Structure 1
Amino acid sequence: MTTSTTMTIRLDPQLKEKLGRLADGTRRSRSFLAAEAVETYVDRELAIIEGIERGLEDVQAGRTVSHEDAMATVRQAIKVAAGGTA
């Protein structure tokens, strides 16, 4: 069984009204929708931070490609996709 905890947040009155309209339209509670929105936001932001951390680890470990090499690869892929030869 999943447990939950309570957290109080302050909302602009207009946002609270919009959340209420959404709750009515979806037949969900404002609390459910707010928790779902917070979870989506937190998951997305954590994924961004984790990606940045992985990128920094790659830089420190020397697992990088120069801009020039990367662009040469992209140009070659474009050429091949346009019907050119590799």
Structure 2
Amino acid sequence: MAGSTITVRTDPEIAAQIAFLAQAMDRSRNWVIEEALRQYIQAQSWQLEGIKQAQASLDRGEGIPFEAVMEDMDALIEQTAHTREP
């Protein structure tokens, strides 16, 4: 499969770390960079999808009002404070 070429300027320390990883894993620097990009894109896509789903949930009115959350938190804090008192 033919790939696309992307040029990136990076800090010399990052370049050295990429070279170190490539040598330690017996892989090319290109492989290390592509794997890092793949993992980053996967993580960001997962987070963006979660945000999108949460926003859709709020749009459908499925959220919990802030005041209700704070009331629950206050009750939990008070309950915890009473169970820790001597």
Provide the identity percentage: 22
Q: For residue 8 of structure 1, what is the amino acid of its counterpart?
A: T
Structure 1's unaligned 5+ residue stretches are: none
Distance between the aligned counterparts of 2:57 and 2:64, measured in 1?
10
Structure 2 residue 51 is the aligned partner of structure 1 residue 33: no
The size of the alignment, in residue pairs, is 81
**What displacement does 1:50 show?**
0.6
Structure 2's unaligned 5+ residue stretches are: none
- Shifted more, 68-77 versus 38-47: the winner is 68-77
What SS does the aligned partner of 1:21 have?
helix
Distance between the aligned counterparts of 2:4 and 2:79, measured in 1?
55
What SS does the aligned partner of 2:61 have?
coil
* C-alpha RMSD over aligned residues: 2.2
Q: Counterparts in 2 of 1:32-51, with a 5 A limit? A: 32-51=31-50
Distance between the aligned counterparts of 2:80 and 2:29, measured in 1?
49
Q: Which residue does the alignment assign to 1:73? A: 72
Task: Using structure 2 for the length normalisation, give the TM-score.
Answer: 0.73
Structure 2 residue 5 is the aligned partner of structure 1 residue 8: yes
Q: For residue 40 of structure 2, what is the amino acid of its counterpart?
A: Y
**What displacement does 1:46 show?**
0.6
Task: Using structure 1 for the length normalisation, give the TM-score.
Answer: 0.73
